């Protein structure tokens, strides 16, 4: 009864209000009819009958209107119930749609969050890799700067080449076969000497004129390259001459000396572009070596020293082999003697086993004897007067030593 039938303006018209309005209208009509009847009563009795008839008609119409009103109220109730059902269905459908949309939105947000987290994790990993690469690049830049500063100073560059040469020699040669800053008879001190089997040292010089190589690399014009090339030839040959004059002493040092070039690229550049310098150095008995060639030369010299030590130990090895042959002959004699002793022992063991078998057989024959049917007196006589003849055959065999 409180359902809204329609809206009039901004005012909702409910079922109860409509019924009350309809009842008020009916009451107003009855009052109007009463007034009309009262007025009609004044006009005369003739009109009373007509008014009564009209009143009956009006009453009948009023009953019809009330019946129609009740039917309308029933229809309004049915309509309100239908509207309530439709509203409930609509609310349920809307809730289902909202739940479905919420579920889909939740799944989409979860997937988006997961993808975002994976992207952030990958981004953090890449940022970590970038940080490490940046750190390594910074360290490498510092090292390159330090190396450039070292190579820019002549004394630092010499110390760098000396340290690299010493590391190669120390890794490849045994202690006592080399010496750093060894003093020669002319009071010259090469960077390193290696004592070969004839005790004549092989001199190694670790200083190299790198300024001319740097100038050649920095040259831009043809004139600068020509000047740098000429300077490089002069510097290298001057250094070769200095090594030959200082470190090649007849009868004291080896006939050849090594000039160590601490860079593979510099050595390759000189070997490829300055073949005449290499040949002149060879004729001056100076061999240019890079770090890898110095390692190879160290390995060759190590094998030479090993062969020399083996030759020095050849006499001792021969003496030891002779002594070992004498020991082997004595060992053979002792083994033969031990074999003979083993033969005697085996024969004694065989005789012992034969005696043990005979004793076992005699014990078996003793077990086979039966004393249950002999009288006690005979047994007593046998143990007394004939005790010595109880087992005459066995006693004779035992006395015979069988």
Give the per-residue pLDDT at 379: 44
Task: Kindly give the parts of the chain with pLDDT less than 50.
Answer: 145-147, 149-152, 375-402
Adjacent-strand bridge partners of 195: 201
Adjacent-strand bridge partners of 258: 204, 287
Beta strands at 257-260 and 201-205: parallel, antiparallel or unpaired: parallel
Give the per-residue pLDDT at 397: 41
User: Helices 222-247 and 275-283 sit at what angle, rounded to 10 degrees?
Assistant: 10
Instruction: Determine contact, residues 255/232, Cβ cutoff 8 Å.
Output: no
Give the per-residue pLDDT at 392: 45
User: Helices 45-152 and 154-172 sit at what angle, rounded to 10 degrees?
Assistant: 90
Measure Cα distances from 263 to 155, 179, 292, 400 in Å. 17, 23, 10, 104
Helix (H, G, I), strand (E, B) or coil at 12: strand
The whole-angstrom separation of Cα 180 and Cα 166 is: 8
DSSP tag of 13? E
Please give the share of the chain, as a percent, with pLDDT higher than 70. 79
The whole-angstrom separation of Cα 255 and Cα 202 is: 8
Contacts of 235 (CB under 8 A, 6+ apart): 209, 211, 212
Give the per-residue pLDDT at 398: 40
DSSP tag of 134? H
pTM: 0.42
Give per-residue burial for 183-207: e unless 16+ CB within 10 Å, then b.
ebeeeeebbbbbbeeeeebbbbbbb
Q: DSSP characters for 210-274?
A: HHHHHHHHH--SHHHHHHHHHHHHHHHHHHHHHHHHHH--TTTS-S-EEEE-S-HHHHHHHHHH-
Torsion angle of the four alpha carbons 139, 145, 147, 150, in this order, in degrees rounded to the nearest 10: -140
The whole-angstrom separation of Cα 239 and Cα 274 is: 15
The whole-angstrom separation of Cα 175 and Cα 230 is: 42
Give the per-residue pLDDT at 396: 42
């Amino acid at each position: 009864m409180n359902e809204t039938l329609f809206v009039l303006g901004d005012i909702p018209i409910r079922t109860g209000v409509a019924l009350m309005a309809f009842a008020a209208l009916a009451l107003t009509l009855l009052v109007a009819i009463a007034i009309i009847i009262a007025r009609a009563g004044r006009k005369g009795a003739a009109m009373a009958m007509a008014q009564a008839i009209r009143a009956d008609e009006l009453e009948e119409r009023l009953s019809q209107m009330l019946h129609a009103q009740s039917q309308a109220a029933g229809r309004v109730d049915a309509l309100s119930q239908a509207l309530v059902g439709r509203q409930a269905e609509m609310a349920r459908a809307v809730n289902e749609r909202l739940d479905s949309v919420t579920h889909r939105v939740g799944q989409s947000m979860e997937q988006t969050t997961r993808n975002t987290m994976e992207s952030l994790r990958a981004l953090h990993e890449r940022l970590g890799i970038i940080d490490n690469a940046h750190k390594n690049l910074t360290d490498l830049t510092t090292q390159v700067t330090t190396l450039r500063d070292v190579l820019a100073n002549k004394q630092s560059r010499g110390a760098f080449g000396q340290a690299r040469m010493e590391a190669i020699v120390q890794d490849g040669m045994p202690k006592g076969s080399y010496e750093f800053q060894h003093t020669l008879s002319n009071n010259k001190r090469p960077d390193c000497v290696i004592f070969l089997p004839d005790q004549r040292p092989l001199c190694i010089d670790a200083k190299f004129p790198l300024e001319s190589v740097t100038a050649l690399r920095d040259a831009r014009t043809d004139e600068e390259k020509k000047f740098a090339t000429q300077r490089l030839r002069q510097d290298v040959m001057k250094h070769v001459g200095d090594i030959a004059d200082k470190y090649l002493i007849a009868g004291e040092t080896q006939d050849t000396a090594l000039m160590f070039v601490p860079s593979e690229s510099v050595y390759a550049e000189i070997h490829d572009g300055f073949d005449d310098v290499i040949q002149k150095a060879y004729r001056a008995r100076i061999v240019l070596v890079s770090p890898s060639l110095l390692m190879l030369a160290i390995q060759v010299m190590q094998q030479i020293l090993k062969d020399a030590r083996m030759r020095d130990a050849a006499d001792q090895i021969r003496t030891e082999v002779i002594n070992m042959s004498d020991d082997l002959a004595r060992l053979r004699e002792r083994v033969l003697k031990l074999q003979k002793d083993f033969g005697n022992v085996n024969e004694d063991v065989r005789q012992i086993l034969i005696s043990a078998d005979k004793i076992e057989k005699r014990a078996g024959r003793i077990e086979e004897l039966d004393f249950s049917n002999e009288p006690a007196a005979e047994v007593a006589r046998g143990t007394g007067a004939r005790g010595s003849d109880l087992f005459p055959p066995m006693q004779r065999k035992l006395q015979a030593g069988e």
